[in-house]
Amino acid sequence: MMLLSSAAVWLLLCVQCLHGSALPAMSSYEFTAYRMQQYNLAQQKHGCRGAIVVAEARSADEPSLTRRCVIMKVQDFTVEKYFEALRQNAAAVLILLPQNISGVPHETIKAFMVSENEALQKETLTPVYVVPEDEQLLYMYEEVRQAAAARTSSMFVRVLRSMVTATAFQILVSNNNPIKAITDNTITTLEGVLAGTGEDAPTIVITAYYDSYGLAPWLSYGADSNGSGVTILLELARLFQKLYSTSATRPQRKHVLSVLMVLCGFAACYTPQVVSSRFPWVKVGLVHKKINLVESTVAWEHERYSLRRIQAFTLSHVEDPKSELRGSVLDTMSQVDFRKLKRNGIIIAEALARYMYNLSDKGSPRDIQVFKGQLDFQDSHMSSLMSFLTSVPRSAQLLDKEPGQILLVNSLEHEFKHHLQQVHRHTFRQDKRDPEITFFDQMNQSVVMYRVKPAAFDLFLGGCITAYLGIVYYSIQNFGHLYARLKAAVKAKHQ
């Protein structure tokens, strides 16, 4: 009798535990995830070529990742863990981006950018998705991480957790449409002119590319690369337009501004002069390299001019053109130091003015300042320009297809027309038969996360129900005997 009572009490406690801790048997959460960049550059394939996911979510710390969807935060995404997931034939990789990137340590951001750059150099069939964090996704991340930690504990704890308390998450991307190449890409270039006074005057070309690049096209906002360059270029257009507006301050040289490449084309010797006189703490270095004609792409954008024996160079804070800093989903506005951006703009503007007006040849003071007062760089204007440029992702395959991106290009054209003359819009279309670069569709996908109990839970619950029914059946079949035993026990207690 005591054994039967103990079993009943234990069973009731188990049922109460299940009732109090279990999540709904089949709850779901739908969100949008952004697929890793996929493109072909000549004969080289880059990025991920898979999209469909039907797998259970697992932490990157799990020893076995085969046919699992590996969930990583920014701090988890390392070259070693990423390629280990691919080596084990993981079903997918899902990377969670923090909503507030400014709160992420600089070393973590740099390490992620390095891993991001390495991942983009390779081709994989494993679907790789990136998604901004939210409450539900963070809950899932913590659950799978705790489950991974529980698997390192004792056998009894692992079995109990897997049967009673654990929650499994199924990740589903069920779009069965085949991934297709985008063959109608167009590139839009904007060009404007500030005409000098002299005939056959030499031309100075200042350019800046405005597209962006990163792990996922829909999350590539390109603040530093190259929203900062476009911001400086537009400020230069505004300031030099004031100098060109009157004949007294209009130089002889023709000043052409266009948005496509990087800053190049004026005498480099004036930049160190400005730096030494106004910003002596800033280090300026010169990196000279030979152009590799074998490579399918040029290292720096100005090399297109150098190949035609036109004096050109690039101003950049990175020495290596393949640096991870030139393309990342973490390259957001929070990473831009506006004080340095303004300082760099002043250096470029002053160096341009010294060259265009021959100020050094006329014996002008080394610390002369052309851009001050009404001609100074405006913090509010630069901040507004940067906010506008980073308001939408600017990946090349989106610029001519999405409404927000088309509006951005149109707005840049309007800004050009406000400060420059002879503004032209050039549209270049790829050769569909033999394109230099091919992008692919399905860059954003609807993902469903199902929150379920593992299969062992069903077995455990079935066992509890069977035990409960067995106790009830035994009690009914032996009611007389049990009643007599209970009556005798009560009588003995009163005596």
- 241 shares a domain with 367: yes
Query: Lowest mean pLDDT: which of 133-137, 140-144, 208-212, 264-268?
Result: 264-268
- Shared-domain flag, residues 115 and 192: no
pLDDT bin (cut points 50, 70, 90) of residue 262 is very low
Ramachandran quadrant class, 91 (left: phi over 0; alpha: psi -120 to 50; beta: rest) = alpha
Are residues 200 and 54 part of one domain? no
Given strand 254-259, what is the order of strands in its sheet? Answer: 203-207, 254-259, 186-194, 421-429
Question: Could you tell me the pLDDT band of residue 54, with boundaries at 50, 70 and 90?
Answer: very high
Q: Is the pLDDT of residue 17 over 90?
A: no
State yes or no: pLDDT of 225 exceeds 70: yes
Task: Please give the residue range of the domain that contains residue 256.
Answer: 186-429
Arithmetic mean of pLDDT, 412-430: 92
Nearest CA to 127 out of 74, 86, 168, 79 is that of 86
pLDDT band (50, 70, 90) for residue 162: low
Q: So what's the pLDDT on residue 380? A: 93
Region class of 363: left (phi > 0), else alpha (psi between -120 and 50), else beta:
left
> Percentage of residues in the chain with pLDDT exceeding 90?
45
Q: What is the mean pLDDT of residues 280-302?
A: 78
Higher-pLDDT residue of 147, 88: 88
Between CA 282 and CA 440 the distance in angstroms is 42
d(CA 317, CA 68): 40
Reply yes or no on whether the pLDDT at 3 is more than 60.
no
**Beta-bridge partner residues of 95:** 72, 130
Mean pLDDT of 438-461: 81
Query: Comparing 259-263, 274-278, 285-289, 470-474, which segment has the lowest mean pLDDT?
Result: 259-263
Question: Which distant-in-sequence residues (6+ apart) come within 8 Å of 271 by Cβ?
Answer: 284, 315, 347, 348, 351
Cα–Cα dist 102/54, whole Å: 33
Q: Could you tell me if residue 472 is inside a domain? A: no
Beta bridge partners of 181: 440
What CATH number corresponds to the domain at position 246? 3.40.630
User: Do 449 and 413 share a structural domain?
Assistant: no
> Within this chain, do residues 39 and 152 fall inside the same structural domain, yes or no?
yes
Please tell me which residue, 9 or 438, carries the higher pLDDT value. 438
> Distance between alpha carbon 394 and the CA centroid of its chain, in Å?
12
Across the chain, mean pLDDT equals 83
318 or 221, higher pLDDT? 221
Range in 2-6, 49-53, 88-92, 111-115 the model is least confident about:
2-6
Mean pLDDT, residues 155-166 taken together: 54
Q: What's the pLDDT score for residue 233?
A: 93
Query: To which residue do tokens 């993902």 refer?
Result: 447
Does 216 have pLDDT greater than 50? Answer: yes
pLDDT at site 458: 66
- With respect to residue 376, please indicate whether it lies within any of the assigned structural domains: yes
| Whether the predicted pLDDT of 297 surpasses 90 | no
**247 and 150 fall within a common domain:** no
Name the most confidently modeled range: 107-111, 273-277, 353-357: 107-111
- Asked if residue 157 is part of any domain, the answer here is yes
Residue 266 is predicted with a pLDDT of 39
Residue 358 within any structural domain of the chain: yes
Which CATH number do you get for residue 156?
Answer: 3.50.30
Cα 72 to Cα 231: distance, rounded to the nearest angstrom: 34
| pLDDT score recorded for residue 281 | 85
| Res. 16: pLDDT tops 70 | no
Task: Assess whether pLDDT exceeds 90 at residue 301.
Answer: no
CA nearest to 74, candidates 53, 49, 99: 99
Question: Confidence class of residue 158 from pLDDT cuts 50, 70 and 90?
Answer: low
For the record, the structure tokens of 221 come out as 């906002």
If pLDDT is split at 50, 70 and 90, which confidence band does 15 have? very low
Q: pLDDT tier at 21 (50, 70, 90 boundaries)?
A: very low
pLDDT at 286 over 50: yes
Tell me: pLDDT of 164 over 60: no
Angle at the Cα of 275 from the Cα atoms of 270 and 279, rounded to 5 degrees = 160
Q: Is the pLDDT of residue 423 over 90?
A: yes
Q: Do 133 and 255 share a domain, yes or no?
A: no
On whether both 199 and 240 belong to a single domain, the answer is: yes
Residue 265 pLDDT level (bands cut at 50, 70, 90): very low
pLDDT of 258 reads 58
Q: Establish if 94 belongs to a structural domain.
A: yes
What one-character-per-residue DSSP string does 269-291 give? THHHHHHHHH-TTS---------
Give the bridge partners for 341, in sequence order.
none
Assess if residue 447 is contained within a domain.
yes
Task: For helices 338-356 and 270-278, give the axis angle rounded to 10 degrees.
Answer: 130
Residue 64 scores a pLDDT above 50: yes
| Exposure string over 81-101, b if 16+ CB within 10 A, otherwise e | bbeebbeeebbbbbbbbbeeb
Q: Which of 245-249, 257-261, 468-472, 476-480 has the lowest mean pLDDT?
A: 257-261
Q: What does the alpha-carbon distance between residue 105 and residue 457 come to, in Å, rounded to a whole number?
A: 40
Q: What is the pLDDT of residue 322?
A: 82
Q: According to the model, what pLDDT value does residue 166 have?
A: 59
On whether both 104 and 46 belong to a single domain, the answer is: yes
The verdict on 378 and 297 lying in the same domain is yes
Together in a domain, 407 and 259: yes
Domain count within the chain: 2
Of the candidates 220, 221, 216, the one whose C-alpha atom is nearest the C-alpha of residue 36 is 216
Q: What single DSSP character describes residue 400?
A: T
- Over residues 312-335, the mean pLDDT reads 87
pLDDT of residue 325: 84
Give the pLDDT of residue 304. 82
Q: Which helix (H) or strand (E) holds 434?
A: none
**484 assigned to some structural domain:** no
User: How do the residues of the chain divide into helix, strand and coil, expressed in percent and rounded to 5?
Assistant: 40, 20, 40
Q: Is residue 469 part of a domain?
A: no
Instruction: Specify whether 223 is located in the same domain as 144.
Output: no
